[in-house]
Structure 1
Amino acid sequence: MSTSASDPLAALGALPGVPDAVESVRKAVDRVYGHRVMRRRSNEITSEAALRGARGSAALSGADWALEEVRRRTDFGGDPEARTVGAALRLGAEAGQLLSIWRQSPLRVLARLHLVAAGDPGEVRAGGAAAGPADAVGRPRQDGEGVDEPLIRAPLPDAGEVAGRLEGLSELIVAGTSAPALVTAAVVHGELLALRPFTTYSGLVARTAERIVLIGSGLDPKAVCPAEVGHAELGPEAYVTAFDGYLSGTPEGMAAWIAHCGRAVELGVRESTAVCEALQRGAA
């Protein structure tokens, strides 16, 4: 795939089908931002989007709870599913606090996200068992350390490859790109999912990083378009199939992954539009 040496993401924006996906997302986002409820109660929509996004992201990481159960619970310790939901909720609350740091030091943000997700380092576990020492939290995994990400079965890059590719991703973000926000967000999400850089919660971190790009780019500044909702609604099988396209590195595979991420954003928009309508009717 031909790319520009100075802006390799830009070429992805021109792949067949990608401009249409970008335009469709832009129109959807514009519609929800134009909703009359958004002008008066956007903070409520943002809070609800964070909750629903966390539920969706947790579902893809093996904790598929009903929304009302996520809303009702206050204790997220104990069993692995509860810890996963708690991690997703903490990440949703943290994402908006890291926007200014992201453009200068993405690796710092990723480390922070894993720290937030892990919570108590003593609870960092894989499959219900201890995943390793507490110092595994907030740093890329080392050779020999296991990874708990049951949905993604792709070959696991070794620690050296993880470190090199994380550095490359960081350099792309810091350098900036003319690529649309959807393209950048999809690549960040896909690359982190491919690397699974942490012993735990890499999927949650990858989807949160996607959210940070969408917010920080100005596409979704109020964080009301939770792509995680759409990823969960499209389902684990479609998620893995689209991700296989990213892993292939082919133009067709990359375009399919970007388009999948676009559909996820649009479904997140639909969810928040429904919340707006409910608020307008006085039903929420």
Structure 2
Amino acid sequence: MSTDPHAWLVSLEGVPSGFTAARDGIDVVLRDRGLRRTSPELTAESLLRGAHASAVLEGSTSTLAEVRAGTGDEIAMVAVRLATELLSLMPVLRRQPLQALARMHTVAARGVLPDEMLGRPRDEEAALKLRAVAELITAPTEAPALAVAAVVHAYLVAAAPFGSHNGIVARAAERLLLAVKGVDEKSLMVPEAAHLALRAEYESNLRGWSHGGQAGRHAWLIYTTEAYAAAAEASPLVREAE
């Protein structure tokens, strides 16, 4: 019996080829459009755009201009606060994913939930689900890194292990995994913006993951191959190169 928790997805029709095509497109943007010329400012811009998009998906009504000016609503400021700290958690996510996820929630929910709930699962069942997600992050696998990020994102949304901000944490974890696993080490893609641009499909396929069985999970993975291609095109690198 395989010990690879992601082995099931490799045999799904269209999934391996879809992720291969998405990775090829990402590599074109990140490398052929000037990875050698990237700067911390481009990474910061990508993180800001991602924070804004994630906040809107969570219910924020702030515009990108308002977020850029520091005048966004509470949800937007939460997303920006997490984005500011996110890349410092790369080594933690590699070694201690539970600690990284707890820190993400603590940063996001500070001032919203009581201190004793920050970074802590809602209950024992949620704690078990959170440990299972952590194992998905660190388990050796033959699955594409993009697929692992997609699966972890969906599991976190479905499990909703924390008392608040689960969507923001899930999208932040997805972005961080793309960096940790070498897909986008400088975090120049904007997956959150892709999910926002494809919002109807994003939300529908997340529901499918939670309630649609194997077919729903298959559909989510196919959706994410499209979303990751769009995430690369949403990078500030694209505008820089044009």
Q: Which deviates more, 188-197 or 251-260? A: 251-260
**Counterpart in 2 of 1:28?**
25
Sort the Cα spacing of 1:277 and 1:11 in 2 relative to 1 into closer, same or farther, 3 A.
closer
**Counterpart in 2 of 1:72?**
69
Sort the Cα spacing of 1:277 and 1:215 in 2 relative to 1 into closer, same or farther, 3 A.
closer
- Does the Cα contact within 8 Å between 2:208 and 2:216 map onto a contact in 1? yes
Sort the Cα spacing of 1:84 and 1:110 in 2 relative to 1 into closer, same or farther, 3 A.
same
Distance, in Å, in 1 between the alignment partners of 2:209 and 2:241 is 40
2:119 to 125, 129, 138: 138
**Counterpart in 2 of 1:156?**
none
Q: Secondary structure at the match of 1:34?
A: helix
Distance, in Å, in 2 between the alignment partners of 1:249 and 1:172 is 21
Structure 1 residue identity aligned to 2:240: L
The unaligned stretches of length 5 or more in structure 2 are none
Deviation at 1:280, TM superposition (A): 4.5
2:9 is the counterpart of 1:12: yes
- Does the Cα contact within 8 Å between 2:51 and 2:79 map onto a contact in 1? yes
Distance, in Å, in 2 between the alignment partners of 1:66 and 1:111 is 28
1:103 to 65, 70, 94: 94
**Counterpart in 2 of 1:260?**
223
2:57 to 60, 84, 87: 60
Distance, in Å, in 2 between the alignment partners of 1:65 and 1:225 is 21
- Does the Cα contact within 8 Å between 2:49 and 2:193 map onto a contact in 1? yes
Sort the Cα spacing of 1:239 and 1:64 in 2 relative to 1 into closer, same or farther, 3 A.
farther
Output one character per residue of 1:201-226: Cα deviation in whole Å (capped at 9) or x when no partner: 11100111111111111111111112
Distance, in Å, in 1 between the alignment partners of 2:2 and 2:105 is 31
Please provide the CA RMSD for this pair: 1.9
**Counterpart in 1 of 2:152?**
188
1:234 to 193, 198, 204: 198
Deviation at 1:181, TM superposition (A): 1.0
Deviation at 1:24, TM superposition (A): 2.0
Deviation at 1:249, TM superposition (A): 5.8
1:216 to 163, 180, 183: 180
Sort the Cα spacing of 1:269 and 1:202 in 2 relative to 1 into closer, same or farther, 3 A.
same
Deviation at 1:169, TM superposition (A): 2.0
Structure 1 residue identity aligned to 2:84: A
2:235 is the counterpart of 1:244: no
Structure 2 residue identity aligned to 1:134: D
Deviation at 1:90, TM superposition (A): 1.7
Aligned length: 242
Q: Which deviates more, 215-224 or 19-28? A: 19-28
Q: Secondary structure at the match of 1:178?
A: coil
Sort the Cα spacing of 1:209 and 1:115 in 2 relative to 1 into closer, same or farther, 3 A.
same
- Does the Cα contact within 8 Å between 2:190 and 2:232 map onto a contact in 1? yes
Q: TM-score w.r.t. structure 1 length?
A: 0.79
Structure 2 residue identity aligned to 1:89: V
Distance, in Å, in 2 between the alignment partners of 1:166 and 1:36 is 37
2:105 is the counterpart of 1:114: yes
Distance, in Å, in 2 between the alignment partners of 1:5 and 1:160 is 28
Output one character per residue of 1:96-135: Cα deviation in whole Å (capped at 9) or x when no partner: 111111122111111100111123xxx31xxxxxx5x331
Distance, in Å, in 1 between the alignment partners of 2:162 and 2:64 is 27
Deviation at 1:36, TM superposition (A): 4.4
Q: Which deviates more, 101-110 or 170-179? A: 170-179
**Counterpart in 2 of 1:154?**
none
- Does the Cα contact within 8 Å between 1:46 and 1:224 map onto a contact in 2? yes
Deviation at 1:277, TM superposition (A): 4.7
- Work out the percentage of aligned pairs sharing the same amino acid: 39
